[in-house]
Structure 1
Amino acid sequence: MHRVCFTLQVRKDRMEEYAERHAAVWPDMLQALHDTGWHDYSLFLRDDGLLVGYLETPDLAAAQAGMARTDVNARWQAEMAEFFEDLDLPPDQGFWQLTEVFHLEDQLAALSTPPPAAAPAAHPTDTAQDQ
């Protein structure tokens, strides 16, 4: 599963309404997100309008393409576009994706994985004929 984190900037004068809209997302939008591979999806809004999104998906491009094929997404993106600053694309395509530089579970798993077993060394008394 690929972890994705992104940012957008919500207009300060629209933050309250933006949060209200996301408190009751349309059921068909929720189902479309789930069905097209948007899992563990969360949005976080800072008091200056910085929006941080996080999701897990097998393939972000496929998840975006799947949503682009739905009517509900076209309606939702059209309504949400007015909430953002400096956005030339629909919000689900115009976000700034962040590069992951640390993930606790990955590093813990790497620590607990034993190194691959080395091939046994030949005994010093072995000769080419014995092998």
Structure 2
Amino acid sequence: MKRYAAVIRLRPEKEAEYRELHAEAWPAVLAALKRARIANYSIFLRDGLLFSYLEYLGDDYAADTAAIAADPVTQQWWALTDPCQQPLDSVAEGEWWADAEEVFHLD
């Protein structure tokens, strides 16, 4: 299992919409995440920053996340959630959520 974390800004005027979407996350989107061997996935909010944490149980993260991105229902979901988000200034070209480096872990 490998842990992943990432950060993105939440547009303040979109907070209520973002919360509503995630209060009733689409079952097909959740199924796509599970098919991609993603577990224990959480998104936290603090001071306008969304922090995501997930555990990846597979052996080809790039292929599994590409399958999520190719999923038509997930693409529809992102069409609703993406306008709520604003990438950090430090993201690489083409990156949306900024990967966060793990600096400490306790089992």
Task: State TM-score, norm by structure 1.
Answer: 0.69
C-alpha displacement of 1:86: 4.2
Which whole-Å CA distance do the structure 2 matches of 1:78 and 1:6 have between them? 19
Is the Cα contact below 8 Å between 2:87 and 2:96 reproduced in 1? no
Which whole-Å CA distance do the structure 2 matches of 1:22 and 1:69 have between them? 20
Identity %: 39
Q: 1:76 — aligned with what?
A: 77
**Structure 1 counterpart of 2:81, which letter?**
M
Query: Which consecutive unaligned segments of at least 5 residues does structure 1 have?
Result: 88-92, 106-131
Q: 1:10 — aligned with what?
A: 10
C-alpha displacement of 1:73: 1.2
Where 1:73 maps in the other structure, the secondary structure is helix
User: Is 1:63 the equivalent of 2:60?
Assistant: no
Query: Taking structure 1 as reference, are residues 56 and 5 closer, same or farther at Cα in structure 2, changes over 3 Å only?
Result: same
C-alpha displacement of 1:63: 2.7
Q: 2:34 — aligned with what?
A: 34
Larger strand proportion, structure 1 or 2?
Answer: 2
C-alpha displacement of 1:62: 2.6
Where 1:7 maps in the other structure, the secondary structure is strand
C-alpha displacement of 1:21: 0.7
Which whole-Å CA distance do the structure 1 matches of 2:64 and 2:45 have between them? 23
Q: 1:53 — aligned with what?
A: 52
- Structure 1 runs (4+) deviating above 6 angstroms are none
Which whole-Å CA distance do the structure 2 matches of 1:64 and 1:2 have between them? 14
The structure number with the bigger radius of gyration is 1
**Structure 1 counterpart of 2:76, which letter?**
R
Deviations 1:19-40 (A, max 9, x none): 1110100111111111112211
